[in-house]
C-alpha cells in the first residue's frame, strides 16, 4: 500500500529500480530506448527486402533498400533530408519527392524504421519479448497484421540472416574470451 508517508521514499525506490532495469536493458543489447532496432536487425531487414541493393528505385510504391511505402514513411514521422526541410504538405508533388528522397537514402530510411518501430513495437509473435523477429513482421506486414505468418521468401531470407548474425556474434564473443 502506498500511503502518503511513503511517497518520497517509494518514488526514489521506483526510480532506482527503473534506472536499474534500463541499465540492464542497455548492457544487454545496446538497446537505446527510442531506437529499438539494432544495426544487425536493420541489415537483415534490407537483406530480406532488397538484398540491400542501394539502387534508388521504387517497386510497387515501395522504395529504397528497405522498400518503404508512402504510408509507412508518414507513420514514421515523414522524415526529410536536410535539403528538403522547407517542403510543406500542401505541395503534394514536393512532399512526394521528399518521401522518395528520404527512403532512398539509407540513413533517412533507417531513421524512419526506428521511429515506426518505436511507435508500433509490439510482441507480434507472442514470445514474450519485442525483438527483431517482431520488427521483421511489423516491417513486412504493418502494425495491424504483424501477427500473421511472414510471406515465405521474406521469412526465409530474414531468418537465415538473423541466424548468421547470431553465429557471427557468438564466434566474435568466443574469440574475445580465448
Ligand atoms: C540492384 O537493382 C537494380 C535495379 O533493380 C539492378 O539493375 C541491379 O543489377 C541490382 N544490383 C545488384 C548488385 O543486385
Ligand atoms: C538534395 O535533394 C536532391 C533532390 O531534390 C537529392 O538528389 C540530393 O541527394 C539531396 N542532397 C542532400 C545532400 O541531401
Cβ contact 76:108 at 8 Å: no
Does residue 101 have its Cβ closer than 6 Å to ligand 2? yes
Kindly tell me the burial class for residue 172, based on how many C-beta atoms sit within 10 Å of its own C-beta (0-12, 13-18, 19 or more): exposed
- Same-domain pairing of 134 and 54: yes
**Ligand 2 closest atom vs CA 97:** 5
Residue-level pLDDT at 31: 53
- Cβ atoms of 17 and 23 closer than 8 Å: no
Q: Which CATH number fits the domain that encloses residue 168?
A: 1.10.530.10
The grid coordinates listed for 91 are: 505541395
Q: Which residues contact 83 (CB under 8 A, 6 or more apart)?
A: none
> How high is the mean pLDDT of the chain?
84
Give the model's pLDDT for residue 58: 94
Do residues 172 and 91 both lie within one domain? yes
Atom nearest to 81 CA in ligand 2: 14
- Cα 8 from Cα 15, distance rounded (Å): 10
* Ligand 1 atom 12: residue of nearest CA: 53
Residues 151 and 72 in one domain: yes
Separation of CA 2 and ligand 2 centre (Å): 56
Tally of domains in the chain: 2
156 and 94 co-located in one domain: yes
- How much is the average pLDDT of 141-159? 97
Average pLDDT over every residue of 103-120: 97
- Same domain assignment for residues 95 and 150: yes
Query: Is 110 found in the same domain as 53?
Result: yes
Looking at the structure, do residues 76 and 141 belong to the same domain, yes or no? yes
E strands, the chain, are: 58-59, 62-63, 68-69
- Quick one: 17 and 96 in the same domain? no
pLDDT in tens, 157-171: 999 999 999 999 998
**94 and 165: one domain?**
yes
Report how far ligand 2's centroid is from the alpha carbon of 101 (Å): 7
How many whole angstroms from 53 Cα to the centroid of ligand 1?
6
Together in a domain, 50 and 25 = no
How many beta carbons lie within 10 A of that of residue 17, not counting itself? 10
The reply to whether 30 and 72 lie within a common domain is: no
What average pLDDT does the segment 135-145 reach? 97
Mutate to test the pocket of ligand 2, among 79, 84, 85, 106 (most ligand atoms within 8 A of CB): 84
pLDDT at 86 over 80: no
Query: In this structure, are 17 and 48 located in the same domain?
Result: no
Structural domain harbouring 7: 1-34
Q: Is the CB of 80 under 6 A from ligand 2?
A: no
Q: Give CA–CA dist 40/124, Å, rounded.
A: 19
pTM, to two decimals? 0.76
Q: Which of 59, 44, 31, 54 is nearest to 139 (CA)?
A: 44
Q: Which of 63, 64, 79, 83 to mutate to test the pocket of ligand 2 (most atoms within 8 A of CB)?
A: 83
Amino acid at each position: 500500500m502506498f500511503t502518503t508517508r511513503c511517497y518520497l521514499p517509494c518514488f526514489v525506490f521506483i526510480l532506482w529500480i527503473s534506472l536499474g532495469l534500463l541499465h540492464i536493458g542497455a548492457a544487454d543489447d545496446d538497446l537505446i530506448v527510442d531506437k529499438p532496432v539494432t544495426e544487425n536487425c536493420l541489415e537483415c531487414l534490407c537483406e530480406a527486402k532488397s538484398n540491400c541493393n542501394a539502387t534508388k528505385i521504387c517497386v510497387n510504391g515501395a522504395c529504397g533498400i528497405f522498400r518503404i511505402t508512402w504510408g509507412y514513411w508518414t507513420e514514421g514521422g515523414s522524415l526529410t533530408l536536410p535539403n528538403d526541410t522547407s517542403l510543406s504538405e500542401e505541395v503534394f508533388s514536393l512532399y512526394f519527392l521528399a518521401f522518395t528522397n528520404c527512403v532512398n537514402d539509407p540513413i533517412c530510411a533507417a531513421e524512419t524504421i526506428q521511429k515506426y518501430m518505436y511507435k508500433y513495437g509490439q510482441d507480434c509473435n507472442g514470445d514474450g519479448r519485442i525483438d527483431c523477429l517482431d520488427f521483421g513482421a511489423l516491417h513486412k506486414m504493418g502494425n495491424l497484421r504483424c501477427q500473421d505468418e511472414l510471406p515465405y521468401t521474406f521469412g526465409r531470407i530474414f531468418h537465415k540472416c538473423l541466424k548468421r548474425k547470431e553465429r557471427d556474434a557468438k564466434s566474435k564473443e568466443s574469440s574475445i574470451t580465448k
